[in-house]
Structure 1
Amino acid sequence: MTSIDGLWYLAEEAERRAERAAHRLSERYGDEGIRRTYRKRVSRARFRTLATRIRRHGTPYGVHTLVRREGGELLLVRHEGVDLWVLPGGGVDGSESFRETAERELEEEAGIGATYRGLAMVARVEINCRGCDTWGLLPVFHATAETTETAVSDPDGEISDARWFDPDGMPEDTRDRGDLIEAARAVT
């Protein structure tokens, strides 16, 4: 890796920020939640984008919420950018905490209120691009729905629908479906 494009420096800065974010999550929530590691090989341009996000907030893909309602159904939103059903969530704005991000994104993408219970899952996302490595966190909070009528008002226009699904009946085109089923069962 040459120092000309500065990816190695960006990767080191991102890793330090991820370590601080992991430490804060551990202090606040202990060892709550299922732990996972995801490995992603990406292009140089994508590496730069993800490492920049991690350097800012410690997370490449933002913060998400696993929301259950009475009866056990799980809330998923349709993300048109990736053409998949996903948990509601997104990127950290400014100085928001991870939990504040999760709450804001849930409101924007599904329009429901929820009581937050802690962490359902924390993933370590390891990113590699031809010899350059870094990592960030993917926190997933667990919440119980206070309201269940959905209303999408996503300012980014990426979310087209929000629906409730039985964990065992989630659509096949759900991102990380197996991990979500396991996490949903663990927080019941």
Structure 2
Amino acid sequence: MKPFNAHTERLLRAALPRTCLIFDVGCGNGEIAFWLAENCGHTVYGVDPRLPLPRGYWHSVTDLSRGEVRLMNGHVESLNPDHKFDCVLALGLLHSLGGRGAVDTMLGRLCQWTKPGALLALSWLSSTRSSSKRHYGVYHPTEDEVLSRLANFGASLQCTWNADIIHSDGGTHCHRAVYALWRTEHTT
């Protein structure tokens, strides 16, 4: 079973046409990283503060049939990877950063972590329609804000689409999810 929905699969298929070096920023429990390594032969680095690993160093998993996974329990805000990547994934990350300044900083860092001509695959919640107090005051970056910031960082939009997601976690509400793929054009 795939650890992602049809929209994320569409994004990953567009972003990952060949075996490559991937950075999964905010990888959660590593499900997508392991799936990409096992099923596609990619080498995937993943970082998330919720991973059940000792904090601050890379844990390698090489006994897979294909590919390799390296995971770190850590915060992406303080990370400086030793590598540049063919693809950087930030799936469900932007809306959890807490504010416009943090999102702007993270978008710049995501671009810095890519090789020239690499792909940047993002998904995030751009809005919430809810009657729950839990969702008031939460910053959801708009599609235009993210498009503008990434253009300023030298990334060009390849494709984007939206999906409305309705669920009842925290009271029934609807999120507008954005899925987008950029190519980085920087040369340094």
Q: Normalising to structure 1: TM-score of the pair?
A: 0.29
Query: Which structure is higher in RCO with an 8 Å CA cutoff and minimum separation 6?
Result: 1
Higher helix proportion:
1
Q: Normalising to structure 2: TM-score of the pair?
A: 0.29
